[in-house]
Amino acid sequence: MSNLLRNLPIDLVRSFTVIVDSGSMQKASERVPVTASALSLQMKRLEDLLQLSLFHRDARGLTLTAEGSEFLRHARAVLEANDQAVVAIGGEALLGPVRLGFVQDFADAFLGGVLSRIAGEHGDVDLEVRSGKSMELLAQLASNELDVVFCMGQEGDAGSLGVAPMLWLGNPALLAQDVIPLALLNAPCRFREAALTALQAAERPYHILMQTEDLSVLKLAVARGMALTTRTALFAGNDLPIIAGALPQLPNVSYIMRRRRTVHGGVERLANTIGQIITDSGVGGRAA
């Protein structure tokens, strides 16, 4: 390998990290304005410049070589330095897609307002929005698949935007049954754990009538009077009755915002804008 230093085009480096974060050329092409075949050519050019193989290519897809994993660490540092330099010289313009994660409650309640605000203040920004469970979103944040996450955590979390009580929700008539029917999200789920722990401590018999990965399915089951569940007033909205006093008390939950350790200044500003929208809405919800 030659000792001459090579200048790496920043667009190739950025494409490389997008491919790694996306898991495939095809998925990466949905996040950058080039086709999967063009991305493949870019990676061939990058490998030629580095004189290294960055990916193992087989029928199962792409995986990083040992050299590719090492280069990824440097690539992220290069992009961070590039973006910081652009901000320092040219201001807070947002570069590339901004990857946001919302727990489903937030997506249902706030996403419309968030998108309208972003369109007005950051009309040229490219967004990638995902929804899921808090633990899933935080894992994606930790693996650099997301830039900012809005989710739920324990009371007292450093990223708290506000605190709300966990509530029992559903048709009060179900309380007359000897065994309380429940509808819950699949584990792991802090609301599931809190509900079961509280009922067990109170020696109140229960039966998990339904469990699901889909929050909209859960809400439908509770709205139809099939079972009770636990969530916050944000989830209840104006559709689900809140049951007060008849069942064991539940803990509070924090609505939280988490960012990657280092994010572009424009992303930081956008995250704060969204956090303010959530805070201004009164995240504690309606009282029981």
pLDDT reading at 90 higher than 70: no
| Rounded Cα gap, residues 181 and 226, in angstroms | 7
**Per-residue confidence band for 2, with pLDDT thresholds at 50, 70 and 90:** very low
Instruction: Find how far residue 139's CA is from the centre of its chain.
Output: 8
For the segment 48-76, the average pLDDT, to the nearest whole number, is 88
**How confident is the model over 210-231, as pLDDT tens digits?**
999 988 899 999 999 999 999 9
Q: Is the pTM for the entire model greater than 0.75? A: no
| Rounded Cα gap, residues 66 and 86, in angstroms | 31
Pairing, β 167-169 against β 160-165: unpaired
**Per-residue confidence band for 243, with pLDDT thresholds at 50, 70 and 90:** very high
Q: What is the CATH number of domain 167-250?
A: 3.40.190.10
Domains 10-90 and 167-250 share a fold: no
**How confident is the model over 263-287, as pLDDT tens digits?**
666 677 778 878 877 777 665 543 3
| Rounded Cα gap, residues 159 and 61, in angstroms | 37
Average pLDDT, rounded, for the chain: 83
**How confident is the model over 14-26, as pLDDT tens digits?**
889 888 888 888 8
| Rounded Cα gap, residues 58 and 63, in angstroms | 9
97-163+254-280: CATH class: alpha beta
Which carries the bigger pLDDT value, residue 281 or residue 108?
A: 108
| Rounded Cα gap, residues 158 and 118, in angstroms | 25
| Rounded Cα gap, residues 74 and 231, in angstroms | 42
Q: Which residue(s) pair with 10 in the sheet?
A: none
Q: Which of the four CATH numbers 1.10.10.10, 3.40.630.30, 3.30.70.920, 3.40.30.10 does domain 10-90 have? A: 1.10.10.10
For the segment 126-137, the average pLDDT, to the nearest whole number, is 86
pLDDT of residue 14: 85
Domain boundaries, the chain: 10-90, 97-163+254-280, 167-250
| Rounded Cα gap, residues 130 and 152, in angstroms | 15
